[in-house]
């Protein structure tokens, strides 16, 4: 489904729906509104709304719009609770307050119309998503002509804010993305990704980093971290105060990390099998060889977790069981419910990608970044359009948002395999359905205890789906598994430093250890206990339980065969997507 141009939609909105008479045309679906973008979305999708639902929406709308109109005629500024319009510049003028209030009312009923349609679930999800995109895009806060805050600053600065805003926009056009942070404030290896360590191995796909111990004793079994290859690893190693890598080292772990290369044309034919066998399986063998330990704790984050699951199943098929424990952070193994991301994946869209990329090529990082930004457009797009361009502000330094803009490419064959076999067909969870690296994949053969973490407000990996991994992993001893639900979203929920004592998390170990069938996700949550602060200490305790005895830390990184190549964070993570 092609989304309408936001500017065109906004213009149509302002011209067609400025008074209730035009909205009567909308609800009657007269010819003058047939070309409207939202009408086109509903029509192209074959959407059907029952006449009684339309009638109810119409009656509710006119009742509420009539009250709003009467307030306006009486000179009263309507109350507006949306944070986009919280400034006194919106509230102090009845005209701008009415503009904001009428936009919110119109948005409410467009959304209600999308909810009222009768369509297949996935088609309905696409319609809701598309309507929400255009509803967010046509906010009066997004345009200079209808944003009183921007107009006020324009007057106060005698036009300087507009000049700066245009300069910011031109600079971002040159960079190919909206600036979410002051990018000059950060540098990977200087104040990001600077936990001390050494690169001890590299191939065309990844570098292996071994971090420097900081404790007098370390757990016997090492810890291998596998971040997602869809973005840079230093999300796990931002600044010292919010680095999961540094925290893991401080808890007495000998930590290794896979730093994926940012693919260029030399990797245009790289496959999912390569990421599994030449990537994760190879990294496991390297850690075993360097440390002399057969067993290790393994963590996978997001797509990295899917790679870890696939790799351990491949190793199990070969008679290898290297995991003392498995940690999966916001990870899909069962793709039955992929949430809002499902709007981007159907047979037609996957076939289109396969036609262009399956035989070789790159999925550009900027396209992936745009996709993820569209999931939260008000936070990651329009907020910065208003601040940077309309008001001429400079973005403030924010390490997480700097990382968010530091995109990575993906090899086309790998990306196409991933789309079809996980999001589209959900083949990975079916024992023996897939052959990867020459082996039949059966996730149930992974017999290590699992620590599954999910974020309650995750829009990329819905927490119910992450909870589904509990029914897949470690089936011989399922009660050894743990599930932790954290607050916030896909990234902020994971990066929740213990020292800051922010947010909260939920546990319900009793339900998981009780006799009988494991409770479903909602039943688990109903009996869960809420705890203040970070979930990190729970994870550290789990690692210690499976870390073996305490021993002296290694005297040097690597070994006689695998010598130091360069200091962490290495070259690969610094490469920019072209």
Q: Which residues are catalytic?
A: 302
C-alpha 568/C-alpha 557 separation (Å) is 12
Residue 411 host element (H or E): strand 410-411
C-alpha 102/C-alpha 123 separation (Å) is 28
Q: 142: closest CA among 396, 389, 395?
A: 389
Distance of CA 213 to CAs 221, 237, 260, 538, Å? Answer: 13, 15, 22, 21
573 with 188: CB under 8 angstroms?
yes
Residue with tokens 């540098």: 187
Find the angle CA(523)-CA(524)-CA(527) to the nearest 5 degrees.
Answer: 85
DSSP notation for 340-396: GGGGG-SHHHHHHHHHHHTTS-EE-HHHHHHHHHTTSHIIIIIHHIIIIIIS-PPPP
- Which phi and psi angles does 446 have, rounded to 5°? -80, 105
C-alpha 85/C-alpha 90 separation (Å) is 6
C-alpha 37/C-alpha 14 separation (Å) is 13
C-alpha 259/C-alpha 206 separation (Å) is 5
Strand partners, 237: 243
**Three-state SS at 237:** strand
* Helix, strand, coil distribution of the chain in percent, nearest 5: 50, 15, 35
**Three-state SS at 557:** coil
- The token duo for 272 is 């999912």
Long-range Cβ contact pairs of 86-91 (< 8 A, separation 24 or more): 87/148, 87/149, 89/148, 89/149, 89/151, 89/152, 90/148, 90/149
DSSP notation for 154-213: HHHTTTHHHHHHHHHHHHHHHHTS---S-GGG--BTTTBS-SSEEEEEE-SSEEEEEEPP
C-alpha 136/C-alpha 132 separation (Å) is 6
Q: 61: closest CA among 21, 90, 9?
A: 21
C-alpha 259/C-alpha 408 separation (Å) is 12
Cβ burial of 59 (10 Å; 0-12, 13-18, 19+) is exposed
Distance of CA 567 to CAs 261, 287, 453, 577, Å? Answer: 16, 18, 31, 22
């Amino acid at each position: 489904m092609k989304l309408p141009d936001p500017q065109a939609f906004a213009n149509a909105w302002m011209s067609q729906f400025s008074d209730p008479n035009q909205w009567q045309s909308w609800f009657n679906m007269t010819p003058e509104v047939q070309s409207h973008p939202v009408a086109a979305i509903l029509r192209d999708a074959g959407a059907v709304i029952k006449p009684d639902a339309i009638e109810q929406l119409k009656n509710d709308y006119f009742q509420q719009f009539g009250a709003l109109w009467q307030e306006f005629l009486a000179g009263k500024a309507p109350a507006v609770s949306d944070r986009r319009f919280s400034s006194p510049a919106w509230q102090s003028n009845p005209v701008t307050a009415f503009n904001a209030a009428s936009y919110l009312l119109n948005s409410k009923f467009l959304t209600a119309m999308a909810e009222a349609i009768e369509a297949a679930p996935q088609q309905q999800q696409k319609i809701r998503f598309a309507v929400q995109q255009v509803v967010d895009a046509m906010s009066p806060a997004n345009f200079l002509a209808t944003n009183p805050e921007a107009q006020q600053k324009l007057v106060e600065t005698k036009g300087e804010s507009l000049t700066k805003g245009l300069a910011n926009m031109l600079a971002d056009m040159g960079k190919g993305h909206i600036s979410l942070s002051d990018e000059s404030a950060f540098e990977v290896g200087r104040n990001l990704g600077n936990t001390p360590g050494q690169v001890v191995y590299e191939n065309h796909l990844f570098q292996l980093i071994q971090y420097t111990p900081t404790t007098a004793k370390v757990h016997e079994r090492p810890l291998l971290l596998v971040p997602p290859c869809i973005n840079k690893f230093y999300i796990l190693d931002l600044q010292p105060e919010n680095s999961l890598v540094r925290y893991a080292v401080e808890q007495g772990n000998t930590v290794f990390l896979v730093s994926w290369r940012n693919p260029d044309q030399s990797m245009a034919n790289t496959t999912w099998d390569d990421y599994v066998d030449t990537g994760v399986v190879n990294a496991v063998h390297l850690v075993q060889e360097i440390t002399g330990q057969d067993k290790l704790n393994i963590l996978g984050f997001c797509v990295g977790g899917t790679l870890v699951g696939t790799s351990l199943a491949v190793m199990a098929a070969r008679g290898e069981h290297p995991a003392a424990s498995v940690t999966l952070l916001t990870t899909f193994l069962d793709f039955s419910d992929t949430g809002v991301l499902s709007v981007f994946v159907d047979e037609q869209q996957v076939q289109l990608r396969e036609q262009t990329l399956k035989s070789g090529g790159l999925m550009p990082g900027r396209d992936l970044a745009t996709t993820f930004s569209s999931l939260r457009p008000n936070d990651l797009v329009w907020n910065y359009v208003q601040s940077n361009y309309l008001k001429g502000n400079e973005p403030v330094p924010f390490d997480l948002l700097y990382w968010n803009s530091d995109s990575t490419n993906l090899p086309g064959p790998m990306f196409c395999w991933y789309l079809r076999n996980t999001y589209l067909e959900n083949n990975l969870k079916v024992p023996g359905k897939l052959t990867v690296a020459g082996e039949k994949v059966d996730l149930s053969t992974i017999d290590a205890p699992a620590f599954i973490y999910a974020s309650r407000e995750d829009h990329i990996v819905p927490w119910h789906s992450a909870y589904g991994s509990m029914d897949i992993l470690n089936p011989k001893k399922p009660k050894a598994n743990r599930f932790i639900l954290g607050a916030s979203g896909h990234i902020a929920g994971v990066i929740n430093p213990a020292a800051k004592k922010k947010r909260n998390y939920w546990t319900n170990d009793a339900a998981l250890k009780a006799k009988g069938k494991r409770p479903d996700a909602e039943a688990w949550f109903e009996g869960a206990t809420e705890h203040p602060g970070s979930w990190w200490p729970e994870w550290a305790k789990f690692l210690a339980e499976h870390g073996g005895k305490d021993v002296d830390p290694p005297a040097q990184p690597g070994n006689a065969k695998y010598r130091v190549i360069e200091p962490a964070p290495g070259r690969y993570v610094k490469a920019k997507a072209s």
